[in-house]
Amino acid sequence: HYPVYYMPHVVPEPHHPPALQPENLLAEISLATHQDEDGDTALHIAVVQGEISIVCKLIRLLLLAHKGLDIHNNLRQTPLHLAVITKQSNMVDVLLQARADPS
């Protein structure tokens, strides 16, 4: 049900982080905040797939853009809800440290 989601501009090569160019940043923010037909964002999908490094990069990008982490999908689930449902305590910790709302 959750497709593989790859964000080439958000996942840098090891030891070679891309420079944050304004035009790239806007495109990355748009991609990161886009909701699919189920209401899921890249963060929802990365959490379900257990992609902790992508989750961390998406969190940094969303916080840099002053966007919240608590976007609800069509089932009213946030990425934090999905981390709990899928029993990924490391994801729960990362999201809570980034100030995801536990309510």
Q: How far apart are CA 22 and CA 33, in angstroms?
A: 16
At 14-64, the pLDDT tens digits run 444 555 566 788 888 888 999 999 999 999 999 999 999 999 999 999 998
Whole-model pTM: value is 0.77
Q: Where are the domains of the chain?
A: 22-97
Residue 100 burial (CB count, 10 A): 20
| 23/2 Cα distance (integer angstroms) | 29
Residues in CB range of 95: below 8 A, 6 or more apart? 47, 55, 59, 69, 79, 80, 83
Among the CATH numbers 1.25.40.20, 2.60.40.420, 2.120.10.30, 1.20.1440.230, which is that of 22-97? 1.25.40.20
Predicted confidence at residue 26, as pLDDT, reads: 84
